[in-house]
Amino acid sequence: MRAMGEFFSVACAACWGLAVVLFRRSGETLPAFELNLLKNLIGFGLMVPTVLLVRGWVGPGYGLEQWLVVMVSGVIGIAIADTWYLRALNLLGASRTGIVAMLFSPMVIMLSALFLDERLLWLQWLGLILVLCGVAVVNWRPDRREISARALRQGLAWGSAAVGMMAIGIVSVKPVLADYDFLWTVTLRLAAGAGAMLLFLTLSRGWADAVAHYRSPQPWPLTLTASVLAGYVSMMMWMAGYWLTDASIASILNETAGAFIVLFAWLILNEALTWRKLAGLLICFAGVGLVAGVALMQ
């Protein structure tokens, strides 16, 4: 089962990387909030028949504490974290935000040590360093967009807070994943996140703008395919990885998404695969092999 958890964590990163590249191919003509909302609604819409087909009408069997954990995890990990991440992206630009996002696995490791009593061996710490270095080498490029010191401070604050919220969201829900039905937990977490985004749209009176964007001409086949991959397939594999293996190990393997994006951009978008990017990919996957190999031997 542990090996399957590591498989799902890497497969999730690959699926997410493919979805991002397809979003790029579609032109990303939808604003980020509307695109994220669409992704989450599609994910929830597909999870409902999935859980009913597999589990029937038997509920998850939560107590009050589990309901609260799953709902709060969905709100902070999907609705709030994504919104703050997009705000950081607007302030910092893509390359700087990508570097800030690398805080995710160290934060998960720290929270897992505090609340889940998980520990990494020194070889796995070495693997983490290799993965992070590989992702940094792959994605590093001079960001020529000049920003003010104030925007830099605000962007770093929003980005760090967003990554922290994502880490809190997934670590807090891991005990529920371990003890209760997996499919119901994924479905209800998505429902909480999408519901919070719809509530935000209502309170901010943003429905008119959102509907106008959805009604405008869009490359719907590519956008919907990418949304299914990101909001349904990738989400299930992401949660399965945390369900079947340690959260700290799953978070390290998830970091490879940045490397997969570069790989798929080369294969699908014909973007140049430079020696620097190739070196970063090799470093990244060497780290993955080290983390996964040590975990399997335990």
Where is average pLDDT lowest: 21-25, 70-74, 191-195, 211-215?
Answer: 21-25
pLDDT band at 63 (very low <50, low <70, confident <90, very high): very high
pLDDT tens sequence across 176-209: 998 999 999 999 999 999 999 999 899 988 899 9
C-beta of residue 275 within 8 angstroms of C-beta of residue 104? no
pLDDT above 70 covers a percentage of the chain that reads 92
Burial class (CB in 10 A: 0-12, 13-18, 19+), 55: middle
Q: In terms of pLDDT, which residue wins out, 224 or 274?
A: 224
pLDDT in tens, 116-174: 998 888 888 898 898 888 878 876 665 555 678 788 888 889 989 988 999 999 999 99
pLDDT at residue 145 in the model: 55
Place 290 in a pLDDT band, splitting at 50, 70 and 90. confident
Domain that holds residue 223: 2-297
User: What is the tally of structural domains in the chain?
Assistant: 1
Q: For 223-242, what is the mean pLDDT?
A: 93
The whole-number average pLDDT for the span 57-63 is 90
pLDDT at 227 over 80: yes
